[in-house]
């Protein structure tokens, strides 16, 4: 399958946010790549896409979305996919990713990632949707594991079993969110290390790191903090197990100064470099 | 086994239901695994809070002046009422809130703030203009080359980003004095009278321009698709020779076509 660009990404990238546009364009920091939230650039005109194009002239970019709603029982939204494809043709991303989740039913969108019941029915449906999208976009998708706060009674398999089977059926790639696995593991009482070690070989193209928030008795994935120590620990094991997979620092709420993100990215870079040195 | 579709409908209904003991929450709770710390319903309620929070934050991001005028607590409560009764029909959160101004106009607890609905409408149009497609300005040479006999068939176009807004309150002034970088006089006289506005974008420059009654009349007719011939016979527009170039020079007219 083709990609929009064949230039690979490596190292620790940063999620591009509007408050940092000017600083990035002015100072051209040595960040290996940026990731953008696809839907933020669906406006086709004006400053957002202008800034993204300037950034793209300097850096590789990956497109990350929350709007495909791949797990929804609704038919796929081809208007959405057409807008995404147009953006991809314009920006030439290295990867396009979305989530193992659903965000809409009967055409109503909740804009938060809802968990799926991991059943045979869901698997068949989800794999079919991924295949259709890949066919439409002309590239493999990266599917990201979500953080979740509820599970269903009627299930046929665990999330990691679902992912392993999905990769076989849909021939897709994966985006492994280390923070999400940790959060979900804490909330549902499973072992994130078991999850990590059951990931299908050679399919994880990208890793996400972010900071969760401790609520009353559960962890909530706010993307509003530095990466927490237990997530760094799981990340070190992830890199040891998977190799130096390109890793993104995500921050969506209370977005700090750019240098804080650079500092987090440097930490991730060091984990990857240490692993390389040890190998 | 419950189908995926039925499960998703049950989750959705429970998210948008009000209160902790409604039938939709009870129905989905049968299908959710309780955990050490939480009942099944409590797991669902985490999503209810998160989803309403996301929608209300989106409204707040598009309507910062409204939020400032009523305060965060009031805005969030008002936003939650709106979010519960207004499904989001687009996967792009930037499309959410189109009729928030109409909702505010009928929202009893905000009735004293008679201008609030129009401020919301202004902020929505600002948001849409900001994200509108780019376009070139009008081709003045081509306009000049239109044959005398065809002039009546000219149909002008407003900028793609442009919308017209009329308000009985000085919403432009209210908007200005509530911008973060505003350092001037904060006073607003609510009796200033009606304002007519065009909200649009030229290049990367956002504009909220005040129109006089004549320019307003012309641009409204253009917006309604009238030909120059039709506009020329309209009452109150007998000085088109002055007002038309004025509108073109200000960028309020961005193109034209000839009606066949």
pLDDT tens, residue by residue, B69-97: 999 999 999 999 999 999 999 999 999 99
Give tens-digit pLDDT for B90-144: 999 999 999 999 999 999 999 999 999 999 999 999 999 999 999 999 999 999 9
Q: For chain B, which residues make up each domain, given as ranges?
A: 1-113, 132-260
**Model-level ipTM above the cut of 0.90:** yes
User: Any idea how long chain B is?
Assistant: 260
Residues of chain A positioned with their CB less than 8 A from the CB of B200? none
**Inter-chain CB proximity A119 and B4 less than 8 Å:** yes
Residues of chain A with pLDDT under 70: 1-6
Q: Measure CB to CB from residue B4 to each of A46, A125, A217 and give the nearest one.
A: A125
Instruction: Express each pLDDT in A151-196 by its tens digit.
Output: 999 999 999 999 999 999 999 999 999 999 999 999 999 999 999 9
Q: Which of A40, A50, A114 is facing B11, going by the closest CB pair?
A: A114
Q: Which CATH class is domain B132-260?
A: alpha beta
Q: Is the pLDDT of residue B186 over 90?
A: no
- Residue A3 confidence (pLDDT): 54
Q: Give the pLDDT confidence score for residue A2 in this predicted structure.
A: 47
Chain B interface includes A254 (CB < 8 A): no
Give the nearest chain B residue to A67 (CA atoms): B91
**Architecture of the domain spanning A12-278:** Alpha-Beta Barrel (3.20)
Q: How far is A37 from chain B (nearest CA, A)?
A: 11
CB contact under 8 Å between B8 and A102, yes or no, is yes
What's the confidence (pLDDT) of residue A6? 65
Say how far apart CA B36 and CA A217 lie, in whole Å.
9
Cβ pair A42, B92 in contact under 8 A: yes
Q: Which residue has the tokens 């190292």?
A: A11
Name every chain B residue with its beta carbon within 8 A of the beta carbon of A146. none
Cross-chain residue pair A73–B31, CB shorter than 8 Å:
no
Distance from CA of B229 to the nearest CA of A (A): 33
**Interface membership of B203 toward A (CB under 8 Å):** no
Q: Select from B8, B30, B92 the Cβ nearest to the Cβ of A73.
A: B8
For residue A232, the model assigns a pLDDT of 98
Closest chain B C-alpha to A22 CA, distance in angstroms:
14
B2 → closest Cβ in A48, A80, A154 = A154
Give the residue from chain A lying closest to B9, CA to CA: A105
- From B4, B32, B90, residue closest to A121, measured CB to CB: B4
- pLDDT the model gives residue B149: 92
Half-sphere exposure of A172 (CA within 13 A, CB side): 34
A48 lies within 8 A of chain B by CB: yes
Whole-number mean pLDDT of chain A? 95
Q: Return the domain boundaries, chain A.
A: 12-278
Contact A46 B130 (CB under 8 A): yes
Give me the count of residues in chain A. Answer: 279
SS3 string, chain B, reads CCCHHHHHHHHHHHHHCCCCCCHHHHHHHCCECCCCCCCHHHHHHHHHHHHHHHHHHHHHHHCHHHHHHHCHHHHHHHHHHHHHHCCECCCCHHHCCCCHHHHHHCCHHHCCCCCHHHHHHHHHHHHHHHCCCCCCCCCHHHHHCCCHHHHHHEEEECCCCCEEEEECCCHHHHHHHCCCCCCCCCCCCHHHCCEEEEEEEECCEEEEEECCHHHHHHHHHHHCCCCHHHHHCCCCCCCHHHHHHHHHHCCCCCEEEECC
Q: Is A217 on the interface with B (CB under 8 A)?
A: yes
State the pLDDT confidence band at B36, using cuts at 50, 70 and 90: confident
Plot region of B52 (φ>0 → left; ψ -120 to 50 → alpha; else → beta): alpha
Residue B47 contacts A, CB cutoff 8 Å: yes
């Amino acid at each position: 399958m083709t990609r929009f660009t064949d230039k690979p990404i490596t190292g620790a990238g940063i999620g591009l946010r509007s408050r940092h546009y000017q600083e990035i364009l002015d100072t051209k920091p040595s960040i290996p790549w940026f990731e953008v939230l696809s839907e933020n650039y669906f406006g086709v005109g004006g400053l957002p896409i202008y800034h993204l194009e300037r950034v793209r002239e300097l850096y590789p970019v990956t497109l990350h979305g929350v709007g495909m709603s791949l797990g929804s029982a609704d038919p796929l939204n081809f208007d959405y996919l057409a807008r995404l494809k147009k953006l991809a043709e314009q920006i030439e991303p290295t990867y396009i990713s979305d989530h193992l989740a659903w965000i809409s039913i009967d055409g109503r969108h909740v804009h938060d990632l809802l968990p799926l019941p991991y059943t045979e029915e869901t698997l068949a449906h989800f794999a079919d949707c991924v295949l259709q999208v890949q066919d439409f976009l002309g590239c493999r998708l990266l599917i990201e594991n979500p953080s979740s706060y509820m599970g269903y009674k009627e299930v046929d398999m665990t999330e990691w079993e679902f992912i392993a089977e999905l990769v076989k059926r849909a021939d897709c790639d994966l985006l492994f969110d280390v923070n999400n696995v940790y959060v979900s593991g804490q909330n549902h009482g499973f072992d994130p290390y078991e999850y990590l070690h059951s990931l299908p070989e050679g399919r994880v193209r990208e890793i996400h790191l972010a900071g969760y928030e401790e609520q009353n008795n559960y962890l909530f994935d706010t993307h509003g903090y530095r990466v927490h120590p237990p997530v760094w620990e799981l990340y070190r094991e992830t890199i040891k197990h998977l190799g130096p997979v390109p890793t993104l620092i995500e921050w969506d709420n209370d977005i700090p100064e750019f240098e804080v993100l650079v500092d987090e990215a440097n930490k991730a870079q060091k984990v990857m470099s240490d692993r390389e040195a040890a190998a | 086994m419950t189908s995926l579709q039925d499960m998703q409908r049950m989750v959705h209904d429970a998210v948008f239901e009000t209160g902790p003991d409604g039938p939709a929450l009870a129905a989905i709770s049968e299908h959710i695994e309780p955990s050490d710390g939480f009942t099944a319903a409590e797991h669902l309620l985490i999503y209810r809070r998160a989803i309403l929070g996301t929608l209300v934050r989106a409204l707040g991001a598009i309507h910062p002046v409204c939020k400032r005028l009523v305060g965060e607590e009031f805005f969030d409560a008002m936003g939650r009422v709106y979010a519960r009764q207004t499904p989001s029909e687009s996967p792009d959160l930037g499309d959410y809130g189109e009729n928030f101004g109409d909702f505010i106009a009928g929202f009893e607890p905000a009735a004293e703030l008679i201008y609030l609905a129009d401020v919301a409408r202004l902020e929505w149009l600002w948001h849409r203009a900001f994200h509108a497609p780019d376009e070139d300005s009008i081709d003045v040479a081509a306009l000049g080359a239109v044959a005398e006999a065809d002039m009546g068939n000219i149909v002008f176009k407003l900028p793609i980003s442009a919308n017209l807004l009329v308000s009985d309150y000085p919403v432009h002034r209210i908007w200005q004095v509530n911008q973060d970088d505003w350092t001037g006089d904060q006073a607003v006289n609510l009796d200033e009278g009606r304002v007519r506005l065009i909200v649009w974008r030229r290049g990367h420059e956002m504009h909220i321009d005040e129109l006089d009654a004549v320019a307003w009349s012309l641009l409204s007719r253009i917006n309604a698709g009238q030909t120059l011939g039709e506009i020329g016979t309209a009452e109150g527009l007998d000085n088109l020779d002055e007002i038309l170039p004025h509108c073109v020079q200000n960028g309020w007219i961005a193109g034209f076509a000839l009606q066949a």
